[in-house]
Each structure stands twice: as C-alpha cells, then as structure tokens.
Structure 1
Amino acid sequence: MENNKEYYFITNKFLAMTMSYLLQEKYYQFEHKDYADRKVYSFKDTAKFREVLTLVQNIKNENKDTLQS
C-alpha cells in the first residue's frame, strides 16, 4: 500500500474489493510503473476511507493467528 497525496494506492485486490464494498465506492484499477508485476487499485484518500482502512487492518491483525492455523 502506498499513500500518494489525493489518492491511496492498494496493491492487494482482496483488500481493494473489501474497501470498495464497505465504502460503497468504486476503485480505479490501473497499471503502475513501480508495480509492473501487478495491478494497482486507487481510492480517494478521505477521512472516511482512512477510518474504514484502519478498521479492516485492525480486524485482520486481531485474526492473524486464527488465519495462520
């Protein structure tokens, strides 16, 4: 993941789909020169986006041990 001013780039498709669903917003998919081996998914970097991203990351971290079993 990478923050780039007005937009926030995500390189994980599953995270992009999760964020899109929770925010009820579409993401933009494109190729990026720094990530030639994968797609980049872009969202407007808003306070709402950051709040949902934090919640998703916290849930993922809380369940990390469960997912690895």
Structure 2
Amino acid sequence: MSMAHSFMVGPDGAFGIGPRRWTPLHAGIDGGAESLAPAAHARRWATTVTRVTRKAVDALEFGDFGPVLEAQGVTDS
C-alpha cells in the first residue's frame, strides 16, 4: 500500500501534508522547516543513525540538556 503525500502550505500559512486530506502539522513554514532539518542533517553527516521508539524513548535521560527555542507547532499549548 502506498502512503503518498506532499508537504504543503495551507491557505492560513500552516505547514502540513496533503493533498487528499489536509493535515496541518505546524502553524507556519518555519515550524515545518525546523522539523525536517535535523533529520536531513543526520542523513547527510552522521555515520550511524538510530531511531528510538515507544518505551525506549521513556528510558532516555535528558536531564543535562537545556531548553531549545522552537517554532510554534499546531499542537503546542
């Protein structure tokens, strides 16, 4: 089964996926670019990339990391 989609900018400037069903992901294009940039950078420069999912994410220790300013996402509150 194909899960074809395109990244799009909606009429209100939101960044999301479509075209069959519009799903906004970020309030603007800045958030969209910000969300894609780390993955693109990792694919280009890292010798190894490890994807962590589900329960393994909860086991990660982030105590030594500081906050990072980010663009506003649609689900941010």
TM exceeds 0.5? Answer: no
TM-score, normalised to structure 2's length?
A: 0.30
